[in-house]
Amino acid sequence: MKALDKEGLDYLANKVYDAINSGGSADYIVEENTETQTGITWYYRKWASGVAECWGRFISTVTWSKWGNAYQGTPSPSYVTYPTGLFSTNPILSAVCYSTDGNSGTMGVEFFAAASTSRTPNIYAMRPDSGTVPSSFEAAFDISARGLWKEFTPSVSGSTYSPIDLQSLKELVETISGNVKNLTVVKTQDLADIDAGANINDVPRIMFFYTGGTSQFYISFDYYWIRLQFRSNSAYMDARVIYGNTTGSWTRI
């Protein structure tokens, strides 16, 4: 076990920092939920890489009207609003429509009007002729959108797990615990305290924080200019190191 002098701290900090940041990890979900907008209930996910996606279905009575050599059906609402604040750029949108009773014949979907980050374009059902289907019917529109909620940060291709050196993490924790003299334990009410850069402090500290809304627990082992941190809920655990003002990425372990 190394003493927590400057040489020992530099050794441990660099070893753990390199272990956590030497490779990529598989992408993972950071938020998922449902949100109801007019006419539709969305299911959505945000991924650590920056990818965002949502999907849902809305059902509307559609009446056919002739449009050139084809027929157009307008639902109500004619567009739907995405989950609040989900996309930072215009997403890629796809949709299919079909009769809920199976009597509508062959149909396609047309998008009309400008796209945006907050709502779909206007959506219409289209068919090449009136055929023998009823002039109005109940249609289901299945919609999915995929875009970004923040700047994209790709994970390493083919990676299914993080290459964290768990022995390095264990060595750092053991070294801190083996040098404890005046350990302080702090419960913070502000996540910013967890994210703050490390300050030179010769008193070992354990800081923890719990987010009730997302059921995430954070714990930080702090000594001198190193902060070894973990966050977890019932489904996963992540780790990172803050070394001075250099913050490593959260990595799944």
Domain 29-148 maps to which CATH number in 2.40.50.1070, 3.40.50.2300, 1.10.260.40, 2.60.40.3940? 2.60.40.3940
- What are the residue boundaries of the structural domains of the chain, listed by start? 6-26+158-252, 29-148
What pLDDT shows up at residue 49? 84
- Dump pLDDT digits (tens) for 195-237: 887 666 667 788 888 877 667 888 888 877 788 888 887 777 8
The torsion angle over the Cα atoms of residues 95, 99, 100 and 101, rounded to 10 degrees, is: -160
- From first to last of its 253 residues, the chain has per-residue pLDDT tens of 445 455 555 555 555 555 555 444 567 788 889 999 999 999 999 998 889 999 999 998 888 888 887 888 888 888 999 999 999 999 999 999 888 877 666 788 988 887 799 999 999 888 887 565 567 788 899 999 999 999 887 754 444 434 445 555 566 566 655 655 567 788 888 888 888 876 666 677 888 888 776 678 888 888 777 888 888 877 778 888 887 777 778 887 7
Global pTM value: 0.54
Chain-centroid distance of CA 204 in Å reads: 33
Beta strand pairing status for 205-211 and 184-187? parallel
Residue with tokens 């959260």: 250
Structure tokens given for 250: 């959260």
